[in-house]
Amino acid sequence: MNKHKAQTLKQWNSNPCGAVGADGKAPYGSLAFFDSARESRYGKTDRWMREEIDFAPGKGKKVLEIGHGMGSDLLTFRENGAEVYGIDITPEHHRLAKLNFKLHRQKAVLKLTDAANIPFPSNYFDIVYSNGVLHHTPDTVRCLTEAYRVLKPGGRLILTLYYTYSAFHLFSKFFVDGLLKGKLGKLGYAGLMSTVEYGADGIKVKPLVKTYGKRQLRNILGDFSRVELKTAHFKTEHLSKLGWLIPRFLEKPLGRIMGWYVIALATK
């Protein structure tokens, strides 16, 4: 297995995405665990999602999520009437997502597989959705080629990746952690960036973390007929100790300039 994908398994089998936001009193894998993790996701850690992502594409629309994690977002699509499918490379994500859907008495087709070879027919889905996932694979372009293939003509890609020119990347990670605290010299850039993920130390656990600029992403999505790009998710703490100078009400407008995520809404 590719070394980067091996690190992906090590990272998210041990620290499933979103689990840290769950109620600590809720038993791992319980209904309360999943519900509190989803509530934390939309209400605290990633409030921007409810404003920027349309989770109600229409009843019966076929939605594929690349990197379904514990299934929080896919479950939200399902509860809004979509016919949902998900793929993930991480066994613990796959296990938890199946359990999440079972506990909520909802249906989904979930497959443990690599997005570089999506096991579905061409022109099959109305929407392909991937949030904060494809910057962790060395096969990002290949995965997006596959996403394009399985979309119906006129279908939509909803994609989020880490943004190169975000305050969090440039100031908090590179300048403060990397230069002022000396982690860049100790860990190297790849090691430093891996530490943005909960539980990663940049040495023993070192998932691949890439960032993308708008021009770069637009070029990658060149086969799509229409591409809209925007950024979101800025918090005052992204400016480290200088964050106290920024009023909280400016977080949303600053997110449109220097947010941690670049969002692509693309039509095939």
pLDDT of residue 52: 94
In eight-state DSSP terms, residue 45 is I
pLDDT tens digits along 211-253: 999 999 999 999 999 999 999 999 999 998 888 889 999 999 9
Share of the chain above pLDDT 70, in %: 100
Please state the domain extents for the chain. Answer: 3-267
pLDDT of residue 103: 98
pLDDT of residue 244: 87
pLDDT tens digits along 43-95: 999 999 999 999 999 999 999 999 999 999 999 999 999 999 999 999 999 99
pLDDT of residue 1: 74
Mean pLDDT for the chain?
A: 96
pLDDT tens digits along 139-181: 999 999 999 999 999 999 999 999 999 999 999 999 999 999 9
CATH class of 3-267: alpha beta
pLDDT of residue 242: 86
3-state helix, strand, coil in the chain (%, to 5): 45, 20, 35
For the entire predicted model, the pTM comes to 0.96
